[in-house]
Amino acid sequence: MEPSRFAALRRRWGIGLLAVCLLAGGVYVFLTRSGEAQSRTAKQGASPPARSVPVVAAAAKTGDIGVYLTGLGAVTPLKTVTVKSRVDGELVEVRFREGQIVRSGELLAQIDPRPYEAQLIQAEGQMARDQALLKNAQIDLERYREMIKQDYIPQQQLDTQVYLVRQYEGVVKTDQGQVDNAKLQLLYSRITAPISGRVGLRLVDQGNIVHANDSNGLAVITQLQPITVIFTIPEDRLPPVMAKLKAGERLPVEAFDREQKQRLAVGSLLTVDNQIDPTTGTVKLKAVFPNEDNELFPNQFVNARLRLDVMHGATIVPTAAIQRGPQGAFVYVVKADQTVEIRAVTVGVTEGDEAAVNSGLSPEEAVVVDGTEKLREGSKVDVKTQTQTSESPKKRRS
């Protein structure tokens, strides 16, 4: 081999060996650093710091809670009357305003009374004439009775006079009836309120001719005080209600709006219907309300709540604390070490935002009412009471 070619070959081998050494050194450094990073990461992940779950808790309390039956109902007036005219004539005066509260016997409208005044005068004149004829016949009868004693007239003449007097007496009674009827027609020309209540919209304007057989009438009066609510309950809830009524107990009833947020009025149960609706399996109940402030309006839909009983000394928690699972109802109880425990409970009566716990919980134990979605058995919690959460917006606003 020539010396020049041998030297070139050595240089190439040297360069290749140097490149291999540099590559091996870089790989070693990379693997070393990656191992240290993974070791640090493993150490950090092995012991993460425990984080507390923020929750809102409330303490169970001892108190009274009502046992209620609820049902959808409608406000129904005790009386609704369509005011109609009982005589024919021109409506010359309307004295009521639409929506006015009127009293029984108050004058509402006036029909032209002149035709009925004339009929009354005519009837009274006819009766005065017949009364005079009767009086004259009675005087003749007394005269004939004296004359028959002296045998001046025959018995037949006396008998005729007796029956003539009776005839005039019948005529006078007929006249009296005509007079009374004329007075009644004149009285009917004054249309008065048959009941106390609220007048609806006017159906006939002044100046129209009204008739006794008109179907619409002049206006509608609805009694508002007191007023009733008719609502329904399931038939299987009827026995305890009937037992209370038979014992003479007064059962309070509350009327709420559609959303069951605002209480409109408080009354009492009046009666129960005499049959169950077979198509719905419900029975109707009627409650009466004083309605002094006109909170209830006819045909208004309301939610009625009948208080059947009161549980005394019950353990009460917010309904938001009650959770449901495959095993039944449970609550998250906050322990002294600020961890939670899952506790199975038996839920009794529920009233609004409160529920009675029959077993599984003691008074004064704190239960979680907000933030339960992130909790597990033994979870660490950061507890805030309901009082603190309600006050914090005020502090932020100030």
**CB under 8 Å, gap of 24 or more: what pairs does 327-334 form?**
331/357, 331/360, 331/361, 331/367, 331/368, 332/55, 332/367, 332/368, 332/372, 332/375, 333/361, 333/365, 333/366, 333/367, 334/55, 334/57, 334/365, 334/366, 334/367, 334/368, 334/381, 334/383
Q: How many CB atoms lie within 10 A of CB 347?
A: 20
CB 362 within 8 A of CB 62: no
Q: Which of 91-95, 172-176, 344-348, 384-388 has the lowest mean pLDDT?
A: 384-388
Write the pLDDT tens digit of every residue in 286-317: 999 999 988 999 999 999 999 988 888 889 99
CATH code given to domain 68-78+222-311:
2.40.30.170
Q: Class for domain 86-221, per CATH?
A: mainly beta
Q: Which residue has the higher pLDDT, 374 or 104?
A: 104
Write the pLDDT tens digit of every residue in 230-269: 999 999 999 999 999 999 999 999 999 988 889 999 999 9
For the chain, the C-alpha Rg in angstroms (whole number) is 49
User: For residue 20, is pLDDT > 90?
Assistant: no
CB 251 within 8 A of CB 244: yes
CATH code given to domain 54-64+313-397:
2.40.420.20
Write the pLDDT tens digit of every residue in 151-186: 888 999 989 999 999 999 999 999 999 999 999 999
Q: Which residue has the higher pLDDT, 327 or 394?
A: 327
